[in-house]
Amino acid sequence: MLKQRVLTALVLAPLIVALVFLTTTVVFAVLLGAIFLLGLWEWTRMSGMRRRPLRACLLLGYAIAMALLWPVVRSSWWWLPALIGLAWWICAAAWLRRISFAASPTREHTALKLLAGLLAVVPAWCAVVALHGGAVAHAPPHAAWWVIFFAGIVVAADIGAYFAGSRFGGRKLAPSISPGKTWAGVYGALASAAVVGLAGGWIAHAPAGLLIGVIALALVTVVFSIIGDLFESLIKRHAGVKDSGALFPGHGGLFDRMDSLVAAMPVFVLGKALLGL
């Protein structure tokens, strides 16, 4: 499994770097939107919607929501969708404390989970497109490095969690939701993110006070990425599935790769703006 994960990551990493650096913001937004919509296709199934025509119509609705938000993303109001996303993930954290909520396969619960997918993914798309396009303080191509920095934080946290959890194990983080996750993994994720935050701040020549802020932002970003990971695990548990799909060997489906990222994007972009970076 580790070998599969590494091979898949080696294939995906160059594609992601190319997407970030070799595209204009318009192309970046369209391609990233398409990727996110594919992830939402998996989400509609996990939410309890089985009929493909209805899922396709819903996906069209998600795409229309992204298109309607494009002028906002490119304006001085870019922060509003990101703030809505942040508020949603705070609500999702509260949902994790009541794991039986909306568990039964009713129409009302399906509708609620479909709305959750909208609030999880569309604000994240808005946030990262605004970051890539320079709406958040810096113009391209400098802004693209912030996208990579964000991705580096989340990827490092994932790697740190995997190896710390495998090596030390110990007390479970949320055994009723995701039995494989441990507090040792959380500490490994936070430590790895702090190292990346320190390195990123040093490369950016941030003064000491601001460097502490960058490290703090990296840590908060990882906290929200963990919430995203756990929330998807909860929805999968409700749906009775192990993975959102089988697109990536060793990684599961597309949303299995997106869950941490979409939860962390709004808080990272807002935090970066608050720090004046």
List, for residues 198-235, the tens digit of each pLDDT value. 998 888 777 888 899 999 999 999 999 999 999 999 99
List, for residues 92-124, the tens digit of each pLDDT value. 999 999 999 999 989 999 999 999 999 999 999
Give residue 249's pLDDT. Answer: 57
| 112-134 exposure pattern, b = at least 16 Cβ within 10 A, e = fewer | ebbebbbbbbbbbbbbbbbbbbb
92 alpha-carbon distance from chain centroid? 13
Give residue 71's pLDDT. Answer: 94
List, for residues 3-62, the tens digit of each pLDDT value. 666 666 677 788 888 999 989 999 999 999 999 999 999 999 999 998 999 999 999 999
Give residue 160's pLDDT. Answer: 92
Q: Which one of 139-143, 186-190, 197-201 scores highest in mean pLDDT?
A: 186-190
Confidence of residue 153 (pLDDT cuts 50, 70, 90): very high
List, for residues 263-277, the tens digit of each pLDDT value. 999 999 999 999 988
Q: What is the mean pLDDT of residues 145-173?
A: 91
Give residue 5's pLDDT. Answer: 62
Q: Which two tokens stand for residue 78?
A: 């870019």
Give residue 257's pLDDT. Answer: 84
Q: Which two tokens stand for residue 252?
A: 């599961």
Residue type for 171, please? R
Enumerate the domain spans of the chain. Answer: 2-275
Give residue 11's pLDDT. Answer: 74
Give residue 188's pLDDT. Answer: 96
pLDDT of residue 250 exceeding 80? no
Confidence of residue 244 (pLDDT cuts 50, 70, 90): confident
